Structures are given as structure tokens and as C-alpha cells.
Amino acid sequence: MRAAVIVFPGSNCDRDMAVALRAAGADVSMVWHKDSDLPDGVDLIAVPGGFSFGDYLRCGAIAAQSPICKAVVAHAERGGYVLGVCNGFQVLTESGLLPGALMRNAELKFVCKTLDLKVETSSSGFTEGYDAGDVVAFPVAHHDGNYTADPETLRRLEGGDRIAFRYVENPNGSIADIAGILSANRRVLGMMPHPERAVDLGHGGTDGQALFRGLIGQLANA
């Protein structure tokens, strides 16, 4: 199973993401934002957290226009899997792969702590390692995680069982306590919390392992 981690200037969770993917059994390549092609045979693309392009203009806006992002969008449109975490989630909304937008946290503060999340659906490659209703603890670290969408989009997300995770205690004003959402084909997941920072006992928790193991197990069997 092959995975690619996209690296932008200002990415800072790219190596953590690669470690988490490798620990779950993936063969991982790092791909620089100026590349226009993905390595052959990539099953999963991970867009990591960080501050791509210094968060200039809007978080993720410049990264979403980079050459590699065209390849990421094409991969998703072919039905490929894409995981965007934190800044990666912002890049996926800016590139149009996921609906809605991530605004400045309602309290205007950078939030950096480990939070409980409720798994809302086990029906996706990313969440099949959990049961709906499970509560998992993942770290969050962001200033712009306040998810917003118009009422029609929110109805579509709720009606389509596309909310993957919700905050048990909302840290940022996010609409409907949304922490992560799925695309209509359930193969693109964007989430603000960091599952890759919860895969080793040294992290203080291993609740993220099921996400990576479930996803990679499924893709390896595909």
C-alpha cells in the first residue's frame, strides 16, 4: 500500500504523518509542492498540518493553488483516498474537495490541547476501525479551526452521514461541533485534530492507530 505525504513550505506535521503511516504498514513517499506528478501507484495522499505559505491570504489558500494540488484533486476525482489534517483540512476546503470553510477560532485564541472527539460514523475507510459513538482523544493545535458551512451544506453533510468526528467540548466555535467531515464518496477526510499525534505510547495516547491501521488494511486488501 503506497502513500504520499505532500510537503509545502511551512508544513510541520509532515514527518509525524509519515511516521504514523509507516507504523501502520504503508510505503511512504514525501512529495514536494512544486512537483506536478504523484509517484506511480499511490493509494492514499496525506495533506499534513502546519502553516503552509505562512497562512498568507487565508490558511491553505496558496497551497491549494500549488502544482501538486492539481494532482491531488485529480487523484480524488478518480476515487482515490485523501486525508487532510489541520492545515491539510484547510487546503482541502480551499481546493474545493470538501465543502465549507475554516474560520478564525471564535475565541480568537490558538487552541493547543488534547480533546475528546466522538466518532460519528464507522462507515468509511478512515473510521471503520472505530464504532460509531466511540470517544477518542486526539490533540488539536490550531488558530483557524472554526468550521462553517451554509445551512444547505450542513443538511447535506448530516443527511449523508458525512460528519466523521465531533468535538465533545467545542474548542473553536465550529458549527454543529464538527471536527472532521467526509466527501460524498467517503474517500476524502478532512479533520482539524491530529490522529498522527496519537499513535505511540510516547504521545500519551494511541487512539489514532485505528484510523491508520483500518485505512491501510483496507487499501492493502483492495
Question: Which residues are known to be catalytic?
Answer: 86, 194, 196
Indicate the residue type of 119: V
- CB 216 to other proteins: min, Å: 32
Q: Which stretch binds other proteins (CB under 8 A): 12-20, 34-42, 143-151, 191-199?
A: 143-151
Could you tell me if 86 and 49 are in contact, meaning their C-beta atoms sit under 8 angstroms apart? yes
Q: C-alpha distances in angstroms, 6 versus 39, 71, 84, 167?
A: 11, 11, 10, 27
Binding mask 161-180 for other proteins (x = CB under 8 A): ------------x-------
- CB closer to other proteins out of 26 and 163: 163
Q: Which of 7, 26, 38, 149 binds other proteins (CB under 8 A)?
A: 149
Contact positions with other proteins (CB under 8 A) in 95-114: 99-101, 103-108
**Burial letters 10-30, b for 16+ CB under 10 A, else e:** bbbbbebbbebbeebebebee
Q: Report the largest interatomic distance among the alpha carbons of the chain, rounded to a whole angstrom.
A: 44
* Interaction pattern, residues 25-64, with other proteins; x per rule: CB under 8 A: --------------------------------xx--x---
Residue labelled with grid coordinates 492545515: 87
Q: What are the CA-CA distances from residue 172 to residues 87, 116, 120 (Å)?
A: 15, 14, 19
Q: Report the amino acid identity of residue 162.
A: R
- Shortest spacing between CB 41 and other proteins, in angstroms: 31
Report the residue number, 47 or 216, with the smaller CB distance to other proteins. Answer: 47
Q: What does the alpha-carbon distance between residue 164 and residue 194 come to, in Å, rounded to a whole number?
A: 14
Q: Which is nearer to other proteins, 96 or 133 (CB)?
A: 96
Query: Between residues 104 and 118, which has the closer beta carbon with respect to other proteins?
Result: 104
Binding span for other proteins by CB under 8 A among 114-122, 142-150, 198-206, 209-217: 142-150
Q: Which one among 122, 148, 170, 209 touches other proteins, defined by CB under 8 A? A: 148
Spell out the long-range contacts of 173-176 with Cβ–Cβ below 8 A and sequence spacing 24 or more. 173/103, 173/105, 173/106, 173/107, 173/146, 174/145, 174/146, 174/147, 174/148, 175/147, 175/148, 175/149
Chain contacts with other proteins (rule: CB under 8 A): 57-58, 61, 65, 93-94, 99-101, 103-108, 146, 148-150, 173
